[in-house]
Amino acid sequence: MICVSLLLVPTAVPNQQVPPSPERAIVLHAMRVLNVEAGTIELDAVVVVRGDTIVEIGPAARVTIPKGAQVLDLGGNSTLLPGLIDAHVHLAWGPAQPSGTLPGADEARATLHAGFTTVRNLGSTGRAGLALRDAIVTRKLPGPRMLAAATPVSFKGGVCDQVFQGEGTASGVAEVVAKTREILDAGADVIKLCAGGGVMPGATDAAAIEYSEEEIRAIVAEAHKRGKKVAAHAQGPAAILNAVRAGVDSIEHGAGINEEAARLMKEKGVFLVPTLYRLELAVENAEKRGAPAANVERLRANRDAAYENVRRATALGVPVALGTDATVIPHGLNAREFSVLVKLGLSTPEAIRAGTIRAAELLGMRDRIGSIALRKFADLVAVDGNPLDDVTVLERVKFVMKGGVVVKQP
């Protein structure tokens, strides 16, 4: 029998950066443990963690609690599941401040406390994303495990050239290859490029192209040569088709995706990271601030069109990974993307897989994160309730462990 007294209010563990002890085990006991791959629940189960790794999983009645283990009972209505993954965020902008403050520190903490233990940071200015990633790795700051893209490779005058202050500007095959090498040499984990389309979707995105297929192919070849994946910002079908034919690993946003593009993505196994909750939030914010009716209607129409396009693509079998584009939405609201994926027609288990095992696959980390399994990182979150019955419970995470370190607990 496992019995531990609980406080009822979830609290952050302030700046908990002490490495987990490999000698002392931590045992997590929950009413339910979610197997995300199967979409099933194990009742009255425990997960045993040693160091930063999961070493045992099973029914509480059958698992022997290691001597001296710290036992954390997560409560009578708890569900334990793997740490959540956001495949498209922007945590940091600009260089470190004279005060020594590192951009993105608060955003990283909010993201981690929301249950997202791994993120893919797809662009920052001043290489702030790389600095934030390194500060988290060295335990100077709490935050999610990060794959960072530095600055995107951007066409001069294009949307990403403007958003990222011209840091990634390059045109022509020779220049884009040189820029890709520069970004990789700076320490980027992934390459982001902007293939076409705006930040928010609109009618002009359908034919918008910033890079030719030849230029994208050159970027992809250089990144893949170094074992790095390529994410392409692409809103409309022309940009999506160019990028997919050129061999990118994921399409970011893809609001204007059509059947031809969807079928090609499925054929080549290219992930779609649709970032749709931000469109919902844009409509809500416009209504709240009393924007002109025509503006609200335009946002609503663009949202609805994007939802329908992505709905058709997922029905055709395009693989989906969860991404939010935070900072476009506030950091910490990342889990609201799950309910939008369900609204589009994904089953609840499929939506949860998009933010766990499928996102881990896209990031090339499926052997280490994305599910509760032996020898994987002890990235674990708990919620009250069963997310298979109500996916919105993922918006109210009460317990977070990253790499065997408890960073939020009841």
pLDDT at 11: 55
pLDDT at 226: 97
Phi/psi at 331 (5° precision): -65, 135
Residues with Cβ < 8 Å from 120, sequence gap 6 or more? Answer: 86, 87, 88, 89, 146, 147, 149, 190, 231, 323, 362, 363
Q: What is the pTM assigned to this prediction?
A: 0.94
Digit-coded pLDDT (tens) for 270-296: 999 999 999 999 999 999 999 999 999
User: What superfamily in CATH does domain 11-82+370-409 come from?
Assistant: Urease, subunit C, domain 1 (2.30.40.10)
DSSP character at residue 305: H
Q: Which of 14-23, 340-349, 365-374 has the lowest mean pLDDT?
A: 14-23
Instruction: Of 323, 268, 311, give the one whose Cα is nearest residue 111.
Output: 323
Encode pLDDT of 303-330 as tens digits.
999 999 999 999 999 999 999 999 999 9
Quickly state the pLDDT bin for 100 (edges 50, 70, 90).
confident
- Residue 255: per-residue pLDDT: 95
- Average pLDDT estimate for 347-363: 98
What residue ranges do the domains of the chain occupy?
Answer: 11-82+370-409, 84-362
pLDDT by residue (tens digit) across 111-168? Answer: 999 999 999 999 999 999 999 999 999 999 999 999 999 999 999 888 888 889 889 9
pLDDT confidence tier of residue 12, bands split at 50, 70 and 90:
low
Range 14-42 average pLDDT? 85
Domain 84-362 falls in which CATH fold? TIM Barrel (3.20.20)
- The Cβ of residue 367 has, within 10 Å, a number of other Cβ atoms equal to 12
Residue 252: both structure tokens together: 């970011």
- Of 44, 38, 81, 37, which is closest to residue 62 (Cα–Cα)? 44
The CA distance from 115 to 81, in Å, is: 10
The mean pLDDT of 365-374, rounded to a whole number, is 98
Distance between CA 95 and CA 180 in Å, rounded? 20
324 alpha carbon, distance to own chain's centre: 7
